[in-house]
Structure 1
Amino acid sequence: MNEEQVERLCQIAPKYGLTLEHQGLTITKVNDQATTLDTTAYMPDQFVDLLAKIIATNMKADLWQWK
């Protein structure tokens, strides 16, 4: 990914229930959780798939912790 794509992704992420922060080409926060995701290692569609997996993992955790 390039920096323009990362910036755009951070702008549209809230539409899909995510908040992303970045420094250059590195995603530094996903939903206020610190991380270090190097976006240069991914094609844009691959990175979107990774974010979808993060959402799915969080949803599963919430489901099983439901009371």
Structure 2
Amino acid sequence: MNEQQVERLCQIAPKYGLTLEHRGLIITKINEAETSFDTAAYMPDQFVDLLAKIIATRMKADLWQWQA
């Protein structure tokens, strides 16, 4: 990914329930959780798929906690 794509991703992420912060090509926060994903190592579609997996994992955890 390039820096323009990372910036755009950070702008649109809230539409999908995520807040992202970045410094250059590094995603530094996902929903206030500190992280250090180097987006240069990903194609844009790959990184979106990774974010989708994060959302799915959180949804599954919420579902199982609700039933407990």
Same-fold status (TM-score > 0.5)? yes
1:25 Cα deviation after fit? 0.2
Partners of 2:35 and 2:64 in 1: CA distance: 24
Q: Partner letter of residue 65 of structure 1?
A: Q
TM-score between the two structures when normalised by the length of structure 2: 0.95
Runs of 4+ off more than 6 Å: none
Partners of 1:44 and 1:61 in 2: CA distance: 26
1:27 Cα deviation after fit? 0.3
Partners of 1:35 and 1:54 in 2: CA distance: 13
Aligned residue in 1 for 2:60? 60
Aligned residue in 2 for 1:24? 24
Note the residue ranges of structure 1 that are not aligned, 5 or more in a row: none
Question: RMSD of the TM alignment (CA)?
Answer: 0.8
Note the residue ranges of structure 2 that are not aligned, 5 or more in a row: none
Q: Percent identity?
A: 82
State the secondary structure of the residue aligned to 1:62: helix
1:33 Cα deviation after fit? 0.7
1:42 Cα deviation after fit? 0.3
Residue correspondence of structure 1 range 1-67 to structure 2 within 5 A: 1-67=1-67
CA deviations on 1:6-56 (whole Å, 9 max, x unpaired) are: 000000000111100001000011111111101001000000000000000
